[in-house]
Amino acid sequence: MSLPAITVIIPCYKAAATLRRAVESALHGAPNTLQLLLVDDGSPDETGALCDALAAGDPRITALHRPNGGAAAARNTGLAAMQGDWVLFLDADDELLPGLWAALPDALARCPGLVLFGMERTSGPVPCPLAPGAYARLTDLGDALGPLLFETGYLAAPYPKLFSAAVIRAAGLRFDETLAVNEDVRFNLDFLHFSHISPAICCLPGVYYRQHDEIAGSLSRSLRADLLDAEAGNRPALARLLAGAGWPPAGREALLRQSRVQAALNQYDLLTGRPGRMPLSARRALFRRIFADAEARATLLGRLRTDPHRLAALPYRFCLGLRLPGVLAGYTACKNRLLAALRRG
């Protein structure tokens, strides 16, 4: 069985050190019908020239250039040029693993909507919470939906998956360029809401995507202050998806709570564990918002009680237990500055 036409979109910004690896991984074993779009997002380095050189060496590759607008804008430029029946997004610092193209034909023939496959991270494995197979309705995902959305990234990131181009075209879907973070979450939620296809989701056995999440500058390694607001902005889209899919009301509320609490945990982890400058007032305000969420606070306290590094966890337990956001803001700011200084030398 032959593969249908597939478009791979790689947004590129200052990716000269890793882009060739990503491109070679996408081309390995790929059919001649593959369309590989390299979207240079106004890179100030040699990334744009590398895109052109790679395109000159293989007719399957097209180099596109645009002013800098961020990953969402670059992916949208790729979507506007998409010719395939399916689209796959690949980050320029990640790679596809061998065997994907051979594993796809049967799945794409059986599953008209969204096809997931396994991924790994350089920081560790990422087991997929969904068993291989076809799922006719979103509700058939059951208890796996929460981990897919909030814990593993399988339904949050634009990878590791293939989207039906027909659904994207029919719904006019694009990444929201006004969002600084979680625009990929919104895209996934909107895609699932508008797909109206059965089977809704198929999950392949096998691991075919490697995320290099330990590269400096990746979101997981960056200090930022907008995760709570981003989750709140996406929550209506999640509620619409769950209601439209016929999710039971109690289950809907549980997933919406999980979304809110997980965002609070993620923001807390960035504040306590990532180097970077942030005004003390902003840090204090974020801790105050996290402390005000009773479920998030209880979850964090439970996590700290079982922390094997009991002495190191003591300041956090103290501040959480007594609800002292200002003290924790000052402590984490000083600690992170000290750690950054030690790393420098």
Same domain, yes or no: 145 and 198: yes
Q: pLDDT value at position 277?
A: 86
Same domain, yes or no: 330 and 256: yes
Distance CA 188, CA 193 (A): 9
Return per-residue pLDDT of the chain as tens, 345 residues.
689 999 999 999 999 999 999 999 999 999 999 999 999 999 999 999 999 999 999 999 999 999 999 999 999 999 999 999 999 999 999 999 999 999 999 889 888 899 999 999 998 889 999 999 999 999 999 999 999 999 998 999 999 999 999 999 999 999 999 998 999 999 999 999 999 777 789 999 999 999 998 764 444 557 899 999 999 999 999 999 999 999 999 999 999 999 999 999 999 999 998 888 899 999 999 999 999 999 999 999 999 999 999 899 999 999 999 999 999 999 999 988 887 777 776
Indicate whether 96 belongs to any domain: yes
Q: pLDDT value at position 39?
A: 99
Q: Which residue has the tokens 């956001």?
A: 325
Same domain, yes or no: 202 and 288: no
Q: Which of 197, 220, 243 is the last residue of a domain?
A: 220
Same domain, yes or no: 142 and 283: no
Same domain, yes or no: 266 and 181: no
- For 178, which DSSP code? T
Q: pLDDT value at position 221?
A: 54
Same domain, yes or no: 209 and 239: no
Indicate whether 1 belongs to any domain: no
Indicate whether 292 belongs to any domain: yes
Q: pLDDT value at position 125?
A: 87
Q: pLDDT value at position 187?
A: 98
Q: How far is CA 170 from CA 78, 166, 191, 263, in A?
A: 17, 6, 10, 31
Q: pLDDT value at position 344?
A: 75
Of the candidates 280, 276, 296, 266, the one whose C-alpha atom is nearest the C-alpha of residue 328 is 280
Same domain, yes or no: 142 and 96: yes
Alpha helices in the chain (DSSP H): 19-27, 47-56, 71-81, 100-110, 145-146, 165-171, 183-195, 227-244, 249-273, 280-292, 294-305, 310-322, 325-344
User: Cβ–Cβ contacts within 10 Å for residue 80, how many?
Assistant: 11
Q: Which of 220, 241, 265 is the last residue of a domain?
A: 220
Distance CA 256, CA 111 (A): 28
Report the CATH number at residue 15.
3.90.550.10
Task: Please give the tally of structural domains in the chain.
Answer: 2
Same domain, yes or no: 48 and 75: yes
Q: Which residue has the tokens 């009991």?
A: 310
Q: Which domain holds residue 126?
A: 6-220
Q: Which of 157, 187, 220 is the last residue of a domain?
A: 220
